[in-house]
């Protein structure tokens, strides 16, 4: 390779020749730069008044010669693809600084993002001789928040540290992190929250929930970052500086996944993926991913795949490399089985097909339901925020064994049971998928089929985790979704669950303020009162939809 890269415009023939000659020089792999090479670079640099640099490989050979302007130098494209999580690039950048200025932010960013072995700047003295030598290399995560270590030597002629040694030791450190990672086999992520309305507490609560979602999805969370902004950045959602910092942080923590606490626009997720070489998921995609992992029934699986494809469709551009990172869910699970051979047309065809299948399944269920209706058993449906204890309540009331878990979205498929009410009356009680704030419209629509049971209900039991500090927000999120589903007019009974975790005073003031029944689904406390109230609502003289919330 003999081409000189960068700002060569206006250079004289003999200057270019001198620059090309640089390719014949060699440095020792063990030193930062040999005094001879250093002097060669500073002399040309002085005479053309531009920065001059070389990329040296681990044998000390010159791979590229680069010219900049007086203040900076842009590296040629050495490929973004990483050599592997534990590997450095195998290249060190040695370049001149005309005013002997320290390493710049650009220098250090190149070091980190390109995973260079080392970046060095040689000061240029008045006579064109090499002055001080400053260099930096990356350091493993050590809790100090530093990504690199900078050292300065007064001159290139004295002792220099063994570069190769440092770099090899560093790669070993990184490899340790990487193998710790592959033992668990779990994907590692940084979570990114943004507070836009100045309400930090709210953004923090949402981020905590995102952490729970990530845990449920089987992702290992290494860091959580919250940024306050007035408006989202149109290109990157977070600011450019923040994104760079995230990129550095993920490099250091061996993370390859960023999960954003808000929904990114298709162009935002594309830009972020392109400019970071990280995999990007947003809140909706994470929820969809959990649904995809947990859906059991045929209908549930179809609904999740439909929602995933609908979300993906506007995010598909021409065949581009970042697509694979956008399309893959956790652990590379994309929608359906097809994963990555995706093109828009096939996605659209598949969507049409799925909609038809879901429609016909829903008709079948409708028939079953009307058979049931003929038996005239009223339906009581349990609704509420995810993890409120809905399934525990169903189990407690009917002695059944529906899956209960301290994870979000333990239940995806509805289950129905018979329940004997006081005075020998029977009802059907159903448990459904939990709700969550900011549930995307597509997802609500996709789950309409599952949730259609709710429209047949004569009474909704709105279960709330009374011990949750965030319970008011969650209660209103559920109300909002019920509204979206046209269920706001259904008779509703507020059921404050987990009162075993509240003090007597807390419970009393809660009930005084908002009515409803306090229960503990896991200890059985309050269940008789709950049945009693439900019974009165359902079977009271003239009881109907007019009753509203009790």
Ligand X SMILES: Nc1nc2c(ncn2[C@@H]2O[C@H](COP(=O)(O)OP(=O)(O)OP(=O)(O)O)[C@@H](O)[C@H]2O)c(=O)[nH]1
Return residues touching ligand X (CB under 6 A): 384, 386-392, 404-406, 408-411, 434, 497-498, 500-501, 520-522
- 386 touching Mg ion, by CB under 5 A: no
Beta bridge partners of 379: 428
Query: How far is Cα 385 from Cα 396, in angstroms, rounded to an integer?
Result: 18
Binders of Mg ion among 439-498, rule CB under 5 A? none
CA distance 474 to 516: 16
Nearer to ligand X, 192 or 410 (CB): 410
* Beta-strand relationship, 379-384 and 279-282: unpaired
Size of the site for Mg ion (CB under 5 A): 4
Least distance (Å) between residue 446 CB and Mg ion: 18
Q: How crowded is residue 356: how many other Cβ atoms within 10 Å of its Cβ?
A: 10
The distance of closest approach from Cβ of residue 511 to ligand X in the complex, given in angstroms and rounded to an integer, is: 16
Nearest residue (CB) to ligand X, 269 versus 520: 520
Q: Which residues contact 364 (CB under 8 A, 6 or more apart)?
A: none
Q: Which residue in the shown chain puts its C-beta closest to Mg ion?
A: 411
Binding partner selected for residue 500 from ligand X, Mg ion, none, CB under the kind-specific 5 to 8 Å limit: ligand X
Q: Which is nearer to ligand X, 306 or 530 (CB)?
A: 530
Of 269 and 432, CB closest to Mg ion = 432
The residue (of 160 and 387) whose beta carbon lies closer to ligand X is 387
**Rounded Cα distance, 410 and 477, in Å:** 19
Q: Which does 409 bind (CB under 5 to 8 A by kind): Mg ion, ligand X, none?
A: ligand X
Closer CB to Mg ion, 46 or 390, in the complex = 390
| Residue 473 binds which of Mg ion, ligand X, none (CB < 5-8 A, kind-dependent) | none
Residue with token string 């390859």: 256
In the complex, the smallest distance separating the C-beta of residue 414 from ligand X, rounded to whole angstroms, is: 11
- Rank residues 64 and 284 by Cβ distance to ligand X and give the closer one: 284
Residue 284 interacts with, from ligand X, Mg ion, none (CB under 5-8 Å by kind): none
With CB atoms as reference, the residue minimizing the distance to ligand X is 434
In the complex, the smallest distance separating the C-beta of residue 300 from Mg ion, rounded to whole angstroms, is 13
d(CA 68, CA 127): 20
Cα distance between the two ends of the chain: 80
Residue 378 binds which entry of Mg ion, ligand X, none, CB below 5-8 Å type-dependent:
none
Q: What is the 3-state secondary structure (H, E, C) of 111-147?
A: HHHCCCCEEEEEEECCCCCEEEEEEEEECCCCCCCCC
Q: Is 399 helix (H, G, I), strand (E, B) or coil?
A: coil
Q: How far is the CB of 385 from ligand X (least distance, A)?
A: 7
Q: What is the 3-state secondary structure (H, E, C) of 67-126?
A: ECCCCCCCCCCCCCCCCCCCCCCCEEEEEEECCCCCCCHHHHHHHHHCCCCEEEEEEECC
The interface partner of residue 208, options being ligand X, Mg ion, none and the CB cut-off 5 to 8 Å by kind, is none
Of 307, 289, 312, the residue nearest 355 (C-alpha): 307
In the bound state with Mg ion, the residue whose beta carbon lies nearer, of 222 and 433, is 433
Considering the complex, what minimum distance in angstroms separates the CB of residue 213 from ligand X? 11
Neighbouring CB atoms inside 10 A of 159's CB total: 7
What Rg do the C-alpha atoms of the chain give, in angstroms? 31
| Stretch of 46-54, 71-79, 351-359, 385-393 lying at the interface with Mg ion (CB under 5 A) | 385-393
What is the spatial distance between Cα 214 and Cα 283, in angstroms, rounded to a whole number?
A: 9
Distances (CA, A) of 26 to 43, 128, 309, 462, 509: 17, 20, 54, 75, 80
What minimum distance in Å lies between the beta carbon of 519 and ligand X? 7
Output the CA angle 322-294-204, nearest 5 degrees: 65
Q: How far is the CB of 326 from ligand X (least distance, A)?
A: 27
- Counting contacts by CB under 5 A, is residue 391 touching Mg ion? yes
Nearer to ligand X, 292 or 388 (CB): 388
On the CB side of 464, CA atoms within 13 Å amount to 28
Please report how close the Cβ of residue 463 comes to ligand X at its closest, in angstroms: 6
Site for Mg ion in 397-426 (CB under 5 A): 410-411
CB of 387 vs Mg ion, minimal distance in Å: 8
Q: Select 54 or 521, whichever has its Cβ closest to ligand X.
A: 521
DSSP at 542: T
List interacting residues with Mg ion (CB under 5 A): 390-391, 410-411
């Amino acid at each position: 390779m003999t081409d000189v890269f960068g700002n060569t415009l206006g250079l004289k023939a003999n200057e270019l020749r001198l620059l090309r000659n640089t390719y014949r020089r060699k440095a020792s792999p063990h030193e930062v730069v040999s005094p001879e090479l250093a002097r060669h670079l500073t002399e040309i640099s002085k005479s053309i008044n531009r920065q001059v640099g070389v990329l040296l490989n681990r044998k000390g050979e010159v791979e590229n010669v680069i010219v900049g302007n007086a203040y900076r130098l842009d590296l040629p494209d050495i490929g973004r693809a990483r050599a592997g999580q534990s590997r450095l690039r195998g290249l060190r950048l040695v370049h001149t600084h005309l005013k002997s200025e320290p390493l710049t932010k650009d220098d250090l960013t190149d070091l980190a993002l390109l995973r260079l072995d080392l970046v060095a700047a040689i000061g240029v003295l008045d006579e064109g001789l090499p002055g001080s030598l400053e260099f930096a290399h990356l350091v493993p995560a050590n809790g100090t928040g530093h990504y690199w270590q900078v050292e300065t030597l007064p001159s290139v002629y004295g002792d220099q540290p063994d570069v190769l040694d440092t770099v090899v030791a560093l790669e070993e450190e990184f490899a340790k992190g990487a193998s710790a990672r592959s033992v668990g086999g779990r994907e590692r992520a940084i979570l990114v929250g943004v507070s836009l309305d100045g309400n930090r507490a709210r953004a923090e609560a949402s981020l905590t929930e995102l952490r729970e979602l990530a845990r449920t999805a089987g992702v290992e969370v290494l860091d959580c970052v919250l940024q306050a902004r007035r408006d989202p950045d149109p290109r990157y959602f977070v600011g450019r500086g923040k994104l760079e910092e995230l990129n550095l942080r993920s490099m250091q923590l061996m993370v390859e996944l960023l999960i954003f606490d808000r929904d990114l626009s298709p162009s935002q997720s594309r830009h972020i993926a392109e400019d970071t070489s990280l995999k990007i998921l947003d809140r909706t995609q994470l929820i969809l991913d959990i649904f995809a992992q947990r859906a059991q029934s045929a209908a549930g699986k179809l609904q999740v795949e439909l929602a995933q494809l609908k979300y993906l469709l506007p995010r598909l551009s021409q065949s581009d490399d970042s697509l694979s990172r956008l399309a893959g869910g956790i652990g590379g699970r994309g929608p359906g089985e097809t994963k990555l051979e995706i093109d828009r047309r096939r996605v659209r065809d598949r969507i049409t097909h799925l909609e038809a299948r879901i429609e016909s399944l829903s008709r079948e269920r409708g028939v079953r339901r009307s058979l049931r209706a003929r038996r005239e058993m009223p339906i009581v449906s349990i609704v509420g925020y995810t993890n409120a204890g809905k399934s525990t309540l169903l189990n407690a009331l009917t002695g059944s064994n529906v899956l209960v878990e301290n994870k979000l979205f333990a239940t995806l498929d509805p289950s129905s049971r018979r329940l004997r009410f006081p005075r020998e009356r029977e009802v059907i009680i159903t448990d459904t998928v939990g709700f969550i704030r900011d549930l995307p419209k597509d997802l609500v629509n996709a789950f309409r089929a599952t949730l259609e049971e709710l429209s047949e209900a004569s009474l909704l039991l709105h279960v709330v985790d009374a011990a949750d500090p965030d319970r008011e927000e969650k209660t209103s999120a559920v109300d909002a979704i019920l509204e979206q589903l046209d269920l706001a007019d259904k008779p509703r009974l507020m059921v404050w669950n987990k009162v075993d975790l509240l003090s007597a005073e807390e419970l009393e003031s809660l009930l005084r303020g908002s009515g409803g029944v306090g229960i503990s689904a896991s200890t059985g406390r309050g269940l008789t009162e709950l049945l009693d109230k439900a019974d009165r609502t359902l079977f009271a003289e003239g009881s109907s939809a007019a009753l509203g919330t009790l």
